Structure 1
Amino acid sequence: MAKQSNRDGKAPTQRMLKVGEQIRRTLSSVLQRGEVHDPDLNRMMITVGEVRMSPDLRVATAYILPLGGKNKQETLDAVRRNRFEIRHLVVKGGSQKFAPELRFEIDGTFDQMDATRALLADDHVKQDLDD
């Protein structure tokens, strides 16, 4: 996994990583079980790739992707529309003492991996790698 960083360019603390992972697991479980009272959202299969915490642990940014990578904007709109209920369910199901603000973004990791594979498959790059 790529090393994440804060806005100030510093690496995240162990506490930020631990809390982010706890929220990621709980959020994944909430979305998988369809606990949110939105039938549109419950029909979607959503992967939570990573949750990054702000240094003060007040903001959690979840990087999500719909299964198959289709309907990204629709998925993003659905989770954002239900963010307050999702926040309540995540805190209820987790071990956090307070509820961080939840923000959602599309996870671009798979797109980056595809672009890297395409670059490495280019004949000019292959030639340079073989030399």
Structure 2
Amino acid sequence: MPEPVVLAAGYFRGYTVVGLLAVIGVLFVAVAFGAGRLLRPVVPTPEKLLTYECGVDPVGEGWAHTQVRYYVYAFLYVIFAVDSVFLFPWATVFAAPGYGATTLVEMFVFLGFLAVGLLYAWKKGVLAWT
């Protein structure tokens, strides 16, 4: 029966490569940031110290109201993008022999759920851009 110390040494030998690569990666990032800090010119001006956002000079407080409708449109896009991800494999399975009626019913159930969701969003006025 082999000794437990020998087994442990063999087990951890595989992790030394991972640890060594992690240390090298951290050192590489530290050296890059240090070199950038040493080599860059430091000339602070009032214009450089201003907050920059999309080319617009900051006016007023830093707190701004964000419209929720942008997120709702993004969410609806994601829902229908996922829908298309499910439709393409379904089309290939539907073409295979023996899966016609079952996959057709399953897809109509899936599209029905999506239609109900879209109808709900339309009835709630989410799709109206005001």
* TM-score normalized by the length of structure 2: 0.24
Q: Which has the higher contact order (CA 8 A, sep 6+)?
A: 1
Q: Which has the larger radius of gyration?
A: 2
Instruction: Write 1 or 2 for the structure with the bigger share of strand.
Output: 1
